Amino acid sequence: MDEVFKALADVSRRLLLDRLHARNGQTLLELCNGLDMTRQAVTKHLAILEDANLVATLRHGREKLHYLNPVPIHQIGERWIRKFEHDRLAALGTLKKQLEKRDE
Amino acid sequence: MSKPEFVYVTYIRTTPDQLWHALTDKDFTRRYWMDCTLTSDWKAGSRMTMAREGEVKNECVILESDPPRKLSYSWRSVFDEEMKKEKPSRVTYLIEPRGGVVKLTVTHENFAAGSRTLESVSSGWPMVLASLKSILETGEPMVLDPNRDA
């Protein structure tokens, strides 16, 4: 669990996860596209995300594809969030999103 | 060859045989899979149904069955009229021992263009897999909302 929090405690890595959330199964090159980061930096961040199991990779022909793997985040949720809290938290999340009109 | 839409990985402190049992035992599946019962003889070519309270939610056909290493089935959601019309997608489980733990890789692929099933399953898988890990490691499933669609 420490690895997951450490991996998430970085804005560049969260951005990479956001990009995979928007479009799953990208190559390193696709992920680098339009980012203000060197390919080496992206590679390093992806390795940390993969070690934390937040990113899963798959060989597809000659390509290595990266997928967002939200399973560890659900395991964290399981530890502190229970069934009846879930709906209320979802409602609060929606309210916050609407009021702020942006995601961080 | 199109690329899979989803790839999920979880590491579970269990054995390949126990994990296979958890994926294929009718009564066990119900305990962690949002109250869904998965019924089949798990032989290639056989039918498999995923039902909640006797109502079939997903109709599947076993495509590959190699216990305790690999399991693959087609997936057709029948609880929604639009999803019912979509071509079946494909789910594959890969079970690999890794030291004291087992790596489970789940891929879900071959969705129809603009698939509504894709939207529906994308939020379900992480919950089901986290719950599966929890029940195998602690004996207790995650608390899931059985009212949402599988």
Q: Residues B23, B17: contact at Cβ < 8 Å?
A: no
Q: What is the pLDDT along chain A (104 residues), one digit of tens a residue?
A: 889 999 999 999 999 999 999 999 999 999 999 899 999 999 999 999 999 999 999 999 999 999 999 999 888 877 777 656 666 777 777 788 778 876 55
Residue A74 with chain B: CB contacts under 8 Å: 126-127, 129-130, 142
Q: Are residues A50 and A86 in the same domain?
A: no
Residue A1 with chain B: CB contacts under 8 Å: none
Q: Is the pTM of this model over 0.90?
A: no
Instruction: State whether residue A22 sits within 8 Å of chain B by CB.
Output: no
| Angle at the Cα of A55 from the Cα atoms of B23 and B113, rounded to 5 degrees | 75
From first CA to last CA, the distance across chain B in angstroms is 27
Q: Are residues A57 and A94 in the same domain?
A: no
Q: Are residues A27 and A56 in the same domain?
A: yes
Q: What is the DSSP letter of B29?
A: H
pLDDT at B123: 80
pLDDT at B150: 45
pLDDT at B149: 46
Q: Are residues A12 and A46 in the same domain?
A: yes
Structural domains counted in chain A = 2
Q: Do A71 and B130 touch (CB under 8 A)?
A: yes
pLDDT at A62: 93
Q: Over the stretch B104-128, which tens digit does the pLDDT of each residue have?
A: 999 999 998 889 999 888 888 988 9
Nearest chain A residue to B148 by CA: give it. Answer: A87
| Residue of B104, B105, B72 lying closest to B90 (CA atoms) | B72
pLDDT at B145: 54
In the numeric block, the tokens 């089949």 are attached to: B40
For chain B, domains (ranges, CATH) are 6-138 (3.30.530.20)
Min Cα separation B43/chain A (Å): 27
Low pLDDT (below 70) residues in chain B? 1, 142-150
Q: Residues A2, A48: contact at Cβ < 8 Å?
A: no
What range does the domain containing A86 cover? 79-104
Q: Are residues A99 and A65 in the same domain?
A: no
Q: Are residues A48 and A20 in the same domain?
A: yes
Strand order in the sheet with B47-52: B6-12, B101-109, B89-98, B70-77, B55-66, B47-52, B37-39
Tokens (6 digits) for A68: 């967002």
- Is A74 among the domain residues? no
Instruction: Identify the contact set of chain B against chain A, taking CB-CB distances under 8 A.
Output: 1, 3-11, 105, 107, 126-127, 129-131, 133-134, 142-145
